[in-house]
């Protein structure tokens, strides 16, 4: 606190003049300091009212300007977060290209280190150890499987009419893949590949006879690996007797992120932007066209991995 001592007004006109000048100077200084104080207080209040930016880290390279399913999942997550921007605040999506597969993603997500969300088929184990956002990102396409084969085996697969016929052929799959587990449970002969891309090369070398692919995947597979002599087995599909949803997952404790993603997806479903993004993918359009093909022969296989 400042104390201003003024000369006695009884000291004459000169003293009164000096006192008046002091009052003017101190008054101006007081107003200046008060203004600075108010400005600082306003800045602090403004800063404290701004919501923190949500950062979500995903695995992969972050390339989303393609028709690859990876781009779809990233863009769908971005859409969900965008739908909740007004209520929940800004967000950033970062990428961690660790070079591992889905099991590496799962382990990192369980540990709460490295990534914040992933997408995969819903299984009991994943739903027990992670928090699943139970909205099927593939609208049922993952329940059906097309068969990728070597072009020289086209005539052999044309004779397949039953599951018994199909079990004479060896199939390729990846370790821990849901589809591989289902095929093994149904008595198929499996050959495991060490990495995703290597399975296509193994099929081209006829190390196994067919590669079971989701209807959301077969289009991009043919585009990427058709020059290896790989084709789709004509008019032959597999179908799980119990559906396998394909969903986003987050860490079990990250209820805030799970809630925001689910609310965003439901808003996108309600306003049509979910379907708009889904059907913008040529591969997904192709997958739905296979279901409309009246000539398709559909073989049903039992699925006990799901939760539905």
Q: Per residue in 19-67, pLDDT tens? A: 445 445 545 444 444 344 434 444 444 444 556 899 999 999 888 877 8
Distance separating alpha carbons of residues 111 and 103, to the nearest angstrom? 12
Distance separating alpha carbons of residues 154 and 173, to the nearest angstrom? 20
Longest dimension (CA), the chain: 123
CA angle 89, 96, 87 (to 5 degrees): 10
Res 215: pLDDT: 96
Across 63-67, 116-120, 127-131, 191-195, least confident range: 63-67
pLDDT band at 194 (very low <50, low <70, confident <90, very high): confident
Beta strand pairing call for 117-121 and 189-192: unpaired
Q: What percent of the chain has pLDDT over 90?
A: 70
141-240: CATH, from 3.30.1490.190, 3.20.20.70, 3.40.190.10, 1.10.8.350: 3.40.190.10
150: β partners: 230
Q: Which of 255, 256, 275 is nearest to 267 (CA)?
A: 275
Where does residue 2 rank: exposed (0-12), middle (13-18), buried (19+ CB within 10 A)?
Answer: exposed
In the chain, what is the straight-line distance between the N-terminal and C-terminal CA atoms, in Å? 72
Specify the pTM: 0.77
Angle between helical axes of 218-225 and 196-204 (0-180°, round to 10): 60
Predicted confidence (pLDDT) per residue in 152-192, tens digit: 999 999 999 999 999 999 999 998 888 999 999 999 999 99
Paired tokens of 92: 């950033």
What mean pLDDT do residues 241-247 have?
92
Q: Which residues of 222-231 are buried (b: 16+ CB within 10 A; e: fewer)?
A: beebeeeebb
What mean pLDDT do residues 292-297 have?
90
Domain 54-138+245-271 part of CATH 3.40.190.10? yes
State the span(s) of the chain assigned CATH 3.40.190.10. 54-138+245-271, 141-240
Residue whose pair of structure tokens reads 């987050």 in the numeric block: 250
Q: Which residues of 35-45 are buried (b: 16+ CB within 10 A; e: fewer)?
A: eeeeeeeeeee
* pLDDT, the chain, mean: 86
User: pLDDT at residue 74 above 60?
Assistant: yes
pLDDT band at 110 (very low <50, low <70, confident <90, very high): very high
Res 89: pLDDT: 96
CB 60 within 8 A of CB 102: no
CB 188 within 8 A of CB 147: no
Half-sphere exposure of 221 (CA within 13 A, CB side): 30
130: β partners: 251
User: pLDDT at residue 8 above 80?
Assistant: no
DSSP H helix total and E strand total for the chain? 13, 11
What mean pLDDT do residues 272-300 have?
95
């Amino acid at each position: 606190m400042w104390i201003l001592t003024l000369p006695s007004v009884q000291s004459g006109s000169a003293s009164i003049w000096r006192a008046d000048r002091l009052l003017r100077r101190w008054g101006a200084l007081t107003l200046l300091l008060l203004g600075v104080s108010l400005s600082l207080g306003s800045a602090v209040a403004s800063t404290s009212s701004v919501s923190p930016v949500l950062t979500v880290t995903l695995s992969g390279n972050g390339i989303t300007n393609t028709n690859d399913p990876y781009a779809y999942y990233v863009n769908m997550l971005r859409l969900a977060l965008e739908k909740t921007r007004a209520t929940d605040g800004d967000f950033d999506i970062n990428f961690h290209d660790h070079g591992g597969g889905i099991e590496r993603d799962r382990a990192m997500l369980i540990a709460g280190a490295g990534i914040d969300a992933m997408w995969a088929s819903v299984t009991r184990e994943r739903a027990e150890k992670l928090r699943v956002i139970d909205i099927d990102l593939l609208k049922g396409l993952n329940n059906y499987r097309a068969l990728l084969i070597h072009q020289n085996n086209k005539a052999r697969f044309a004779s397949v009419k039953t599951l018994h016929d199909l079990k004479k052929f060896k199939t390729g799959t990846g370790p821990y893949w849901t589809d591989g587990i289902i095929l093994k449970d149904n008595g198929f002969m499996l050959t495991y590949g060490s990495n995703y891309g290597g399975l296509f090369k193994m099929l081209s070398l006829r190390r196994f006879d067919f590669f079971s692919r989701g209807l959301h995947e077969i289009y991009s597979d043919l585009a990427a690996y058709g020059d290896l002599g790989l084709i789709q087995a004509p008019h032959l599909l597999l179908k799980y007797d119990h559906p396998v949803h394909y969903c986003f997952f987050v860490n079990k404790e990250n209820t805030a992120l799970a809630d925001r993603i689910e609310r965003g997806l439901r808003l996108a479903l309600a306003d049509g932007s979910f379907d708009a993004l889904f059907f913008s993918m040529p591969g997904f359009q192709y997958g739905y066209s296979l279901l409309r093909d009246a000539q398709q022969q559909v073989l049903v296989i039992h699925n006990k991995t799901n939760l539905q």
